[in-house]
C-alpha cells in the first residue's frame, strides 16, 4: 500500500473518530419527589395517577411517554413519591432542576452489617426479661415486625405458627411467590408476609450474574438470623453443634413477622426504597434494618434508608437500624437520622471457649465453635503461618493464611498461627486444613484488641486476643521446638466484665450532623445464636456440606434486631407511645455499667464512651417504665431539617403539604434524648433547652449531675413536679468549659439524671473540645 493511500485512510479514520457522537453512559438513579398529597384513604386510582405523573415528568426529559415507561423500573406511588429509572448523567442533572424534585441520586450499593461478609435470642441471659416483668403480659402479641434483609428460611422452627391465632385484620400484605412456586416458599400465621425486590440489583451492570431471583427465600442466612432475633418463636433445645443448648426466642416471640428481601449481591437504594414502601403499605409496626452505607455520610435526601425511615416514622412505624461494622475507627457510624434508633454492638455474658495450651504451660482463653477436636494427651508442633509460606509468597500473605500462600510440605501435621485480617476468619481455617494443618490459632491484630469471635471452623481452632496472640508469637519465635494443644469447645456462662463494646462496632461522632449523638444505644451483637438458612453451610463455602438450623453471627446486624424485638414489646405495652417516646425510653434507661459494677469497656480494655455506646447498654425491664420521655413528632423533624438548611419549598415536597421553617431554630435545642455540643467556646456559657413528658404516675423529680472536671453544668429548674400523666416540663442546661484546662481527648462526657426515687432518667452529655 502506498504512503499516500495510508495517509488518506488514517485521516478518514481520525475524522470518523473525532466526529462520532459520544454515547451517553446510562446508569440507574432514584428521583425523589417527597410525599404524595393523597387523603387518608388513597385508592388504586390515586396510585395509578401518581405513576402516570412520574411518566409525565420523565417524558419531558427523555422525549416521550413511551421512553419514560421503558426507563422507569420502580414507581413509588403509595407512601413515598418518586421513581427509579435508567438515565444518563445529563438527564439526571436536568431532572434535579425540576420544581417538584427533591433530589436525584445514583442507585448505590449498601452492605449488610454482619462481620461474616468480608444465646438466648432477645437479650442474652442476665435476667433482663424477668418472669414477673411486664413482658410476660405481652411478648409482642399483635405486633407486626418487618425486616429489610436477605429474606427468610420459612421452614425454621423460629417461624413456626404453633400457638398463633388468626392473622391480625390490620395486616394488608401478601406472601409473594413465583408462578408455580418452584422453591416451595410459604407463609403461615407467624410468618405472615414476604416480598422480594430485585430490580435495583438488576439495574447494576456489574452485578453478580449467578444470583437466584424471584423468591423471598433466604439463601445466605443473614435475613433468617436477624428476623428470628427480633421476633422468632420459642424453640426448645436450640444449639449450634450442641453448644449453647437452650430455648431460643426472639425479643418479641409472639409478634407476627414479615420478610422484605432487598439484598442480593449487596443491597441497592432502589430496592431498599421499594421495601420500605411495601412495609409501610402492609401495616408493620416495627422495621428492623440491618444494613447501611458502610460509614459514608450521605445527606438525608440522597439516602434511601433516610428517606424510607422518614416516611415510616411519619406513619407511626418505629425504625431500628444497625450502626455499622467499621469500628473502632472514629466517625464511621452509619444510619445517622435522628428519627431512627441506631444500634451499636456489645458482647454478652456467654462464651464458647476453647483454650490454647502452650508447651511452656501457659493457658490462653480463645473462642471457637469447631465440631472437631485434637486427640488428647498430646502436644502438637506449633508454627507461625509466616514460616510455612511458598518461596515466591510474601510473609504477610502467608501470615494472613491467604489462599495459595501456604506450602503443604511445611504445614502438614502442625498447628498454624494465623493473623486476623485481610480475609474471612473461617476461610483462614479452610486454607490451613487444605494444606494439611492439624489445627489453627487465629490471633487478633492490634485493631481487633480483645474481641474474639466463635466461628464454625472446619478444623480444631481457637480465636485469641491480640495480647494472647502476641504471647503465642513470642513463644513460637523464641522456642526451638514450640508445641501446643487446642481444647474442645465448652459453653461458658456468667462471663465477667460483660458487656463490652465490640471492636468492629462503628464509632461516633456523627460525621453528617455532630449535634446528634450516634449511635443511640448498644445491644448484644457478638456470637449471637439465631436461626439460619439450610441452603448454605456454616462456612458459606460450597464444599462444606454441613447444615445447621441455628448459627452464631456477630455484627451490628445482630444487635439491631435485639432492639427491634424490644421495641415490639414496648409498642405492645404502650400502643399510644410515639416512635420518639419509645426511642427515648430505651435510651434514658440504658446503663453504662458492666456486670461487675465497673464502666463498660471497649475491646482495648479502656473505658468506652458515648461515641461507642450512645446512651449505654439496653435494659428492657426499665424501658417499659421510664418515668419521663423526650418526645418528638414530624414537625420537630422538619424543624431539624430546617436547621440543616432545607428550605420551605423542599420541605413542602418532603412532607406533602405546605411547611414554613421557623425564623430561628438551633439544632442544640432539638429535643433529643442526648445533649451533644460540637461547637463551644472555652469559658463562655452555652444554654441548651429540653422538654420532658411524664409517662408515669404523678411524681417529683430532682436533677443529679455527673460532670467531668473540665465541665461546669448547671440545670434550671433543679426540680420538676408532675401532677398527671402527659404533662410536659421544660428545663435549661448551662454548659461551660473551664479555662486553663488541658484536654487529652477531642470530647468530654457527662450525664444528667432526673430521679424521683423510682425512675432514673439518664441523658448523656458530649462536648467537643475546640482545637
- Contact of 685 with 573, CB cutoff 8 Å: no
**pTM of the predicted protein model:** 0.92
pLDDT over threshold 70, residue 129: no
Q: Give the 3-state secondary structure percentages of the chain, helix then strand then coil, rounded to 5.
A: 25, 25, 45
**654: confidence class by pLDDT, cuts 50, 70, 90:** confident
Q: State which H helix or E strand residue 51 sits in.
A: helix 44-62
Q: Which residues pair with 74 in a beta bridge?
A: 84
DSSP per-residue string spanning 418-472 = EESBSB-HHHHHHHHHHTT-SEEEEEPPGGGTT-------SSSEEEE-HHHHHHH
**290: nearest Cα among 116, 35, 129, 142:** 116
Q: Which of 547, 517, 124 is nearest to 344 (CA)?
A: 517
Kindly report the three-state secondary structure assignment for every residue of 546-557: CCCCEEEECCHH
Q: Say if residues 244 and 4 touch (Cβ distance below 8 Å).
A: no
pLDDT value of residue 137 = 63
Please, which pLDDT band fits residue 4 given cuts at 50, 70 and 90?
Answer: low
Question: Burial level of 24, CB count in 10 A (0-12/13-18/19+)?
Answer: exposed
Bridge partners of 705, per DSSP, are 752
Give the C-alpha separation, 689 to 8, whole Å.
Answer: 79
pLDDT value of position 118: 31
Per-residue pLDDT band at 12 (split at 50, 70, 90):
low
Instruction: Report the distance separating Cα 45 and Cα 61, nearest Å.
Output: 25
pLDDT recorded at residue 770: 83
Q: What is the mean pLDDT of residues 411-420?
A: 97
pLDDT of residue 122 exceeding 50, the answer is no
126 pLDDT more than 60: no
The yes-or-no verdict on residue 7 having pLDDT over 60 is: no
**Closest alpha carbon to 71 in 89, 85, 57:** 85
CA distance 228 to 105: 33
Instruction: Report how far residue 177's alpha carbon sits from residue 190's, in angstroms, rounded to the nearest whole number.
Output: 17
Residue 579 has φ and ψ, to the nearest 5°, of -55, -40
Q: State the alpha helices, DSSP H only, in 204-268.
A: 222-231
Q: How many helices (H) and strands (E) does the chain have?
A: 18, 36
Model confidence at 727: pLDDT above 90: yes
Show Cβ contacts of residue 387 under 8 Å, excluding neighbours closer than 6 positions.
398, 410
Cβ proximity of 450 and 603 under 8 Å: yes
Q: What is the pLDDT of residue 135?
A: 57
Q: What distance in Å separates the CA atoms of residue 191 and residue 24, rounded to the nearest whole number? A: 45
Is residue 209 very low, low, confident or very high in pLDDT (cuts 50, 70, 90)? Answer: confident
pLDDT band at 767 (very low <50, low <70, confident <90, very high): very high
Residue 149 catalytic?
A: yes
C-alpha distances out from residue 651 to 54, 83, 660, Å: 19, 18, 8
Tell me the three cell numbers of residue 494.
Answer: 456468667
Looking at residue 2, its pLDDT comes to 53
Mean pLDDT of 152-169: 96
For 30, 312, 590, 672, 691, the CA distances from 632, given in Å and listed in that order, are 29, 15, 19, 8, 10
For the stretch 88-118, pLDDT in tens is: 999 999 999 999 999 999 999 998 887 643 3
616 three-state secondary structure = coil
Distance separating alpha carbons of residues 425 and 437, to the nearest angstrom: 16
- Asked if the model's pLDDT at residue 670 lies above 50, the reply is yes
Query: In the prediction, which pLDDT does 347 show?
Result: 94
The cell numbers describing 60, all together, are 419531558
Percent of all residues in the chain with a pLDDT value above 70, rounded to a whole number: 94
* Residue 507, preceding peptide bond in cis (omega within 30° of 0): no
Map 122-188 to HEC letters. CCCCCCCCCCCCHHHHCCCCCCEEEEEECCECCCCHHHCCCCCCCCCCCCCCCECCCCCCCCCCCCC
Q: Are 559 and 345 in contact (CB under 8 A)?
A: yes
DSSP letters, 346-403, are: E--SEEEEEEEEETTS-EEEEE---S--PPSS--EEEEEGGGGB-TTS-HHHHHTT-T
pLDDT value of position 393? 95
Considering 557, 572, 578, 603, which one is annotated as catalytic?
A: 557
What digits encode the pLDDT tens for the residues 613-627?
A: 999 999 999 999 999
- Separation between Cα atoms, residue 359 and residue 381, nearest integer Å: 9
User: What is the reported pLDDT for 598?
Assistant: 96
Whether residue 145 is predicted with pLDDT greater than 50 in this model: the reply is yes
CA 721 to chain centre: 38
Least confident of 329-343, 529-543, 622-636, 652-666: 652-666
Q: At what angle do helices 634-643 and 648-655 cross, to 10 degrees?
A: 150
Q: Are 666 and 346 in contact (CB under 8 A)?
A: no
pLDDT reported for residue 131:
38
Residue 298's contacts (CB-CB under 8 Å, 6 or more residues apart) are: 306, 512
- Which of the following is catalytic: 149, 271, 513, 756? 149
Q: Give the pLDDT of residue 121.
A: 30
Query: Order of strands, edge to edge, in the sheet holding 109-112?
Result: 263-264, 266-268, 109-112, 291-292
* Digit-coded pLDDT (tens) for 53-89: 999 999 999 999 999 999 999 999 999 999 999 999 9
Q: Which pLDDT does position 87 carry in this prediction?
A: 97
Q: Which residue has the cell 405486633?
A: 143
Mean pLDDT for the chain overall: 91
- pLDDT value, residue 130: 39
Is 186 an annotated catalytic residue?
A: no
Q: What is the mean pLDDT of residues 382-388?
A: 97
Strand partners, 240: 243
Kind of pairing between the strands at 483-486 and 350-358 = antiparallel
Q: What is the pLDDT of residues 591-600, one digit of tens each?
A: 999 999 999 9
CA angle 426, 427, 433 (to 5 degrees): 95
What's residue 120's pLDDT? 27
Helix axes 222-231, 556-573, angle to 10 degrees: 30
Catalytic residue among 222, 225, 457, 463: 222
Residue 546 per-residue DSSP state? -
- What's the Cα-to-Cα distance from 640 to each of 313, 581, 591, 643, 661, rounded to whole Å? 15, 17, 28, 5, 9
- Residue 505, helix vs strand vs coil: coil
For 339-366, what is the mean pLDDT?
96
Determine the Cα–Cα distance for residues 120 and 569; give it in Å rounded to an integer: 16
pLDDT at 637 over 50: yes
Chain CA centroid to CA 576, Å: 27
* Rounded distance between C-alpha atoms, residue 5 and residue 7, angstroms: 5
Exposed, middle or buried: residue 426 (CB in 10 Å: 0-12, 13-18, 19+)? buried
Task: Report the pLDDT value the prediction gives residue 116, as an integer from 0 to 100.
Answer: 46
Give residue-wise pLDDT tens across range 316-347.
999 999 999 999 999 999 999 999 999 999 99
Q: pLDDT value at position 297?
A: 80
pLDDT of residue 133: 54
DSSP code for 82 = E
Query: What pLDDT score was predicted for residue 417?
Result: 98
Residue with cell 427465600: 217
Q: How far is CA 98 from the centre of its chain?
A: 34
Q: What are phi and psi of 18, to 5 degrees?
A: -75, -30
Amino acid at each position: 500500500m502506498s504512503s499516500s493511500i495510508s495517509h488518506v485512510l488514517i485521516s478518514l479514520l481520525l475524522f470518523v473518530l473525532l466526529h462520532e457522537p459520544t454515547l451517553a453512559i446510562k446508569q440507574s438513579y432514584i428521583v425523589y419527589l417527597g410525599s404524595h398529597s393523597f387523603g387518608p384513604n388513597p385508592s388504586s386510582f390515586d396510585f395509578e395517577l401518581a405513576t402516570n405523573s412520574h411518566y409525565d415528568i420523565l417524558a419531558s426529559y427523555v422525549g416521550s411517554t413511551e421512553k419514560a415507561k421503558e426507563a422507569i423500573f420502580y414507581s413509588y406511588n403509595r407512601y413515598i413519591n418518586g421513581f427509579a429509572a435508567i438515565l444518563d448523567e445529563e438527564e439526571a442533572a436536568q431532572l434535579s432542576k425540576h420544581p417538584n424534585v427533591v433530589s436525584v441520586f445514583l442507585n448505590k450499593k449498601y452492605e449488610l452489617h454482619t462481620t461474616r461478609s468480608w444465646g438466648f435470642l432477645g437479650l442474652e441471659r442476665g435476667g433482663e426479661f424477668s418472669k414477673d416483668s411486664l413482658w410476660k403480659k405481652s411478648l409482642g402479641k399483635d405486633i407486626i415486625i418487618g425486616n429489610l434483609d436477605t429474606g427468610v428460611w420459612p421452614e425454621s422452627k423460629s417461624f413456626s405458627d404453633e400457638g398463633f391465632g388468626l392473622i391480625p385484620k390490620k395486616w394488608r400484605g401478601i406472601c409473594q411467590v413465583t408462578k408455580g412456586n418452584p422453591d416451595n416458599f410459604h407463609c403461615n400465621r407467624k410468618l405472615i408476609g414476604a416480598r422480594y425486590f430485585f430490580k435495583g440489583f438488576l439495574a447494576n451492570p456489574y452485578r453478580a450474574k449467578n444470583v437466584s431471583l424471584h423468591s423471598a427465600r433466604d439463601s445466605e442466612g443473614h435475613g433468617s438470623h436477624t428476623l428470628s432475633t427480633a421476633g422468632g418463636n420459642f424453640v426448645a433445645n436450640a444449639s449450634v453443634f450442641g453448644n449453647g443448648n437452650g430455648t431460643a426466642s426472639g425479643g418479641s416471640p409472639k409478634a407476627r413477622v414479615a420478610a422484605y428481601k432487598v439484598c442480593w449481591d449487596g443491597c441497592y437504594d432502589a430496592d431498599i426504597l421499594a421495601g420500605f414502601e411495601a412495609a409501610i403499605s402492609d401495616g408493620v409496626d416495627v422495621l428492623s434494618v440491618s444494613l447501611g452505607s458502610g460509614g459514608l455520610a450521605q445527606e438525608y435526601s440522597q439516602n434511601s434508608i433516610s428517606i424510607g425511615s422518614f416516611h415510616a416514622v411519619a406513619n407511626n412505624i418505629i425504625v431500628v437500624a444497625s450502626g455499622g461494622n467499621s469500628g473502632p475507627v472514629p466517625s464511621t457510624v452509619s444510619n445517622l437520622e435522628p428519627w431512627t434508633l441506631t444500634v451499636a454492638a456489645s458482647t454478652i455474658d456467654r462464651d464458647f471457649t476453647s483454650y490454647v495450651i502452650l508447651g511452656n504451660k501457659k493457658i490462653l482463653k480463645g473462642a471457637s465453635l469447631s465440631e472437631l477436636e485434637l486427640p488428647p494427651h498430646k502436644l502438637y508442633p506449633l508454627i507461625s503461618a509466616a514460616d510455612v509460606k511458598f518461596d515466591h509468597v510474601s510473609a504477610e500473605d502467608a501470615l494472613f493464611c491467604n489462599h495459595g500462600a501456604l506450602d503443604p510440605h511445611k504445614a502438614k501435621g502442625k498447628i498454624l498461627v494465623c493473623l486476623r485480617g485481610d480475609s474471612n476468619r473461617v476461610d483462614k481455617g479452610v486454607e490451613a486444613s487444605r494444606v494439611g494443618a492439624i489445627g489453627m490459632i487465629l490471633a487478633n491484630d492490634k485493631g481487633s484488641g480483645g474481641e474474639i469471635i466463635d466461628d464454625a471452623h472446619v478444623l480444631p481452632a481457637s480465636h485469641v486476643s491480640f495480647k494472647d496472640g502476641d504471647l503465642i508469637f513470642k513463644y513460637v519465635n523464641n522456642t526451638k521446638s514450640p508445641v501446643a494443644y487446642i481444647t474442645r469447645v465448652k459453653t461458658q456462662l456468667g462471663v465477667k466484665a460483660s458487656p463490652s463494646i465490640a471492636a468492629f462496632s462503628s464509632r461516633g461522632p456523627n460525621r453528617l450532623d455532630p449535634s446528634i449523638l450516634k449511635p443511640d444505644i448498644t445491644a448484644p451483637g457478638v456470637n449471637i445464636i439465631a436461626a439460619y438458612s439450610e441452603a448454605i453451610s456454616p462456612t458459606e463455602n460450597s464444599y462444606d456440606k454441613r447444615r445447621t438450623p441455628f448459627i452464631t453471627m456477630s455484627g451490628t446486624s445482630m444487635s439491631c434486631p435485639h432492639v427491634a424485638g424490644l421495641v415490639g414489646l414496648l409498642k405492645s405495652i404502650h400502643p399510644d407511645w410515639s416512635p420518639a417516646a419509645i426511642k427515648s425510653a430505651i435510651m434514658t434507661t440504658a446503663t453504662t455499667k458492666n456486670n461487675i459494677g465497673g464502666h463498660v469497656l471497649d475491646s482495648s480494655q479502656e473505658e468506652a464512651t458515648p461515641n461507642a455506646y450512645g446512651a449505654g447498654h439496653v435494659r428492657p425491664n426499665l424501658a417499659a417504665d421510664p418515668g419521663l420521655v423526650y418526645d418528638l413528632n414530624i414537625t420537630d423533624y422538619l424543624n431539624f431539617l430546617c436547621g440543616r438548611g432545607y428550605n420551605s419549598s423542599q420541605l413542602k415536597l418532603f412532607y406533602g403539604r405546605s411547611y414554613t421553617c421557623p425564623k430561628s431554630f438551633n439544632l442544640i435545642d432539638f429535643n433529643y434524648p442526648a445533649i451533644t455540643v460540637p461547637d463551644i467556646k472555652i469559658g463562655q456559657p452555652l444554654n441548651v433547652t429540653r422538654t420532658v413528658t411524664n409517662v408515669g404516675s404523678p411524681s417529683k423529680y430532682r436533677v443529679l449531675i455527673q460532670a467531668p472536671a473540665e465541665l461546669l453544668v448547671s440545670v434550671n429548674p433543679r426540680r420538676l413536679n408532675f401532677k398527671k400523666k402527659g404533662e410536659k416540663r421544660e428545663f435549661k442546661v448551662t454548659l461551660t468549659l473551664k479555662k486553663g484546662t488541658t484536654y487529652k481527648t477531642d470530647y468530654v462526657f457527662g450525664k444528667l439524671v432526673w430521679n424521683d426515687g423510682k425512675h432514673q432518667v439518664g441523658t448523656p452529655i458530649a462536648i467537643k473540645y475546640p482545637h
